[in-house]
Every structure is written in C-alpha cells, then in structure tokens.
Amino acid sequence: MIERDTPIRVVQCGIGAMGTEMLRLLTDDPGVTVVGAVDVDPETIGRDVGAITGGGDVGIEVADDLESVLEATEPDAVCLATADAAAEAMVADLLTCLRAGADVVSSNGGFFYPYRTHPVLARKVDRVARKNDASVLCTGLNPGFALDTLVVALTAVSESIDAIEASRTVDFSPYGAGVLEPGGFGLAPDEWTRRRDAGDLAGHESFPAQIRMIADGIGLDLDAVVQREFDPVVADEHRPVASEYPDIEAGEVAGFEQTYAGLVDGDPVVTLTLAAVVDPAASGLEGGDRIAIRGVPDTTVTTEAPFEPGPTTWATVVNALPNVSNADPGLKTMLDLPLPSASLGDMRKFLDPDR
C-alpha cells in the first residue's frame, strides 16, 4: 500500500447527531487531522472539538462561519453533515467548500445522484469542482449503499436481467420527531391518507434517484419512474417509541410501506420498497434488506438484520473520503468511484501520494 507522510487535513461541517459521529471517526484516525469544525447551533458553537467527541480539549473550537474556517485552515477536504435539507439549500455549502479548493464528502441524500434529479445544479457543482481542482460525493446508507450501490455491485455477475426487486424493512422506533412527524407516524389512518393524497407526507424521497442510478449503472433505459404504493401500516396495539415522540397507540399509523418502480415498456424492471415502521415485527413484517435480481443468473441476497441507518451512514460517508480525495476533479457519484470499502487504521494507506 502506498503511504503518504502528512495526514489529510479535514474540516467537519455540521455537528448534529450524524456530524458528531463523523467527527469522532475523523478524530480517531491517525491519518486525519481535524483542522476545523462548523455548526449553526449556538449551543455547539464555541465548544472544543475534543470535548464533543468525549475527549479532552484539542484547541479547536466549533465556529459558525464555514467560509472563514475554510479561509483560515485551507483544508484538504470537508465532511459535510449539515441538516437534512433539500439539495438546493445544501448545495450552497458544497459550493463554498469547492470554491476553497477542498474536496467534499457529504451525507446530503438529496444530492447523491444529482445528474438525474438536479441536472442544472449538478452541472454547476461539477464545473465549480473542476475549476477548483476538487471533487465531491454525496453518499450514505440509503440513499448511497443499501438500495442502490449494493444492488448495482450484485449485478456484476449477471449476463441478463429481467427484473430487480430490492426492499428494506426498518424499525423506526428509535427515531424522534424529525423523522417520524414527516412520515405521519401516530396519525389516524384517515388523516394519514388525506395528507398523503395532498402530497403532504414525506416518504422515502430518494427512490426515484436511486432507481435512476441503478438503471444507469447497469445500462437500462427506463421509460419512467413511478410510485406504485404508499400506504399506512396501522397498529393493532400499543407500540412504544424510544424517543420523546409519543408512543403509537392501537388504531394509529405505526409507519408506512412505499414502493417505486422504474418502468420499461410499462413493466416494473427496478422496484424498490421501504417499510418504515415502529416495531415492524408486530405487523408481521420481517426486518432486513433483500435484493433479488431475476435473470441469468438469479441472485437473491438478504441481510440477517437491516443495515442500521445512523451508524452505517456516517461510516459510509467517512469511508468514502479517500476515494473522493484520490478522484479526478468534479462531481462524482458512487458509480464513478472505485469499489467502496472500510478504511481501517490509517486513512493515509488509501491516499494517492501524487494527488
């Protein structure tokens, strides 16, 4: 393995639940030096980075202005975990980092396959990245891995494919209002349906982009991507929620099942399903991820337990840092970069010394 002497200098931007864990992973890596940290929360601003990750002070305080931090620290890369906002809002931070010449790896799920979802914005980000000799990737678990990148990787052994069906059943009982409220958890079924029909409930919004990524990844031309199902799962009994969010009571919506399909000649060729439910087992839903590729050969893969959304997301983002650092300038997707992997020990092992 190639090694380079100097650690990679990284700024962590966004220090919420996700960003704190990224900061911890970065701090623990001897191949990384955290040179700055940025957040918008007044309670976090001014805190020492070391204290945030449970250690002693390291003399780096969380600042409130990304641009000043970039100017002062000139980092090699930025880990971006700002609030789970729409792509449009988060892209401003991406652009700020790129204009400072920093590579970016971000958990921005709305911008993980942006050439299809935000083509104008994507071309702009790509242009700015190239101009500043920087590269950028948005990734995570889902979108980013479980129902897209892993699906594509499994097709590597296929000579022909008739249909792909991938699904994921996740227990949402650990989550708080930020996740549960937009999904209509705890509503009466009528109210849930009314709000769904009004376009008022957020299900898994990145399915269209994920289906497009799979199709592009394997060379499939889709006619359209359509929502096939978005239905409530109603509880028959009391179901506890681990957060401050109210428990689900009998007769209330405990979650949803949602399916999108990519169509070829009207047939669903790539179908993705998420069941996001408080205690899915109580509804007879088996937890886990399942990817079935029907064709020559048939390939069906299941996980023993579902990929845990939080930990796998922050790990996937930080693990992608070396591939992003080594990449040619520009806006990248998981289809463009080398095989994703863990980056154990010292990240310098993965860094190309010529970049």
Out of 40, 45, 154, 179, name the contact with its own copies by CB under 8 A.
154
Distance separating alpha carbons of residues 91 and 352, to the nearest angstrom: 27
Kindly indicate which of the ranges 45-53, 159-167, 180-188, 199-207 contains the residues binding its own copies, using the contact rule CB under 8 A. 159-167
Of 113, 26, 141, 112, whose CA–CA distance to 76 is shortest? 26
Distance separating alpha carbons of residues 167 and 173, to the nearest angstrom: 19
Distance separating alpha carbons of residues 324 and 107, to the nearest angstrom: 13
CA dihedral for 302, 304, 310, 315, sign (positive or negative): negative
Closest separation between CB of residue 350 and its own copies, Å? 6
Choose between 68 and 341: whose C-beta lies nearer to its own copies: 341
The 303-342 contact track toward its own copies, x by CB under 8 A, reads: xxx-xx--xx-xxx-xxx-------------xxxxxxxxx
SS3 state of residue 157: helix
Is 152 among the residues that bind its own copies (CB under 8 A)? yes
Is 110 among the residues that bind its own copies (CB under 8 A)? no
Closest separation between CB of residue 159 and its own copies, Å? 4
Choose between 194 and 349: whose C-beta lies nearer to its own copies: 349
Choose between 85 and 157: whose C-beta lies nearer to its own copies: 157
Within 210-229, the residues that bind its own copies by CB under 8 A are 216-221
Is 299 among the residues that bind its own copies (CB under 8 A)? yes
Instruction: List residues bridging with 296 in a β-sheet.
Output: 160
Is 300 among the residues that bind its own copies (CB under 8 A)? yes
- 174 burial via Cβ count (<10 Å: 0-12, 13-18, 19+): middle
Is 119 among the residues that bind its own copies (CB under 8 A)? no
Is 296 among the residues that bind its own copies (CB under 8 A)? yes
Distance separating alpha carbons of residues 185 and 179, to the nearest angstrom: 9
Closest separation between CB of residue 271 and its own copies, Å? 17
Within 23-52, the residues that bind its own copies by CB under 8 A are 25
Closest separation between CB of residue 289 and its own copies, Å? 8
Q: What residues contact residue 205 under an 8 Å CB cut-off, 6+ apart? A: 110
Out of 145, 192, 207, 245, name the contact with its own copies by CB under 8 A.
145
DSSP secondary structure of 233-265:
EE-SS-B--SSSSPPBPTTSEEEEEEEEEEEET
- Residue pair 300/292 in contact by the 8 Å Cβ criterion: yes
Choose between 77 and 253: whose C-beta lies nearer to its own copies: 77
Closest separation between CB of residue 57 and its own copies, Å? 24
17: enclosing H helix or E strand? helix 17-28
Q: Which residues bind its own copies (CB under 8 A)?
A: 1, 25, 141, 145-146, 149-150, 152-161, 216-221, 296-305, 307-308, 311-312, 314-316, 318-320, 334-347, 349-350
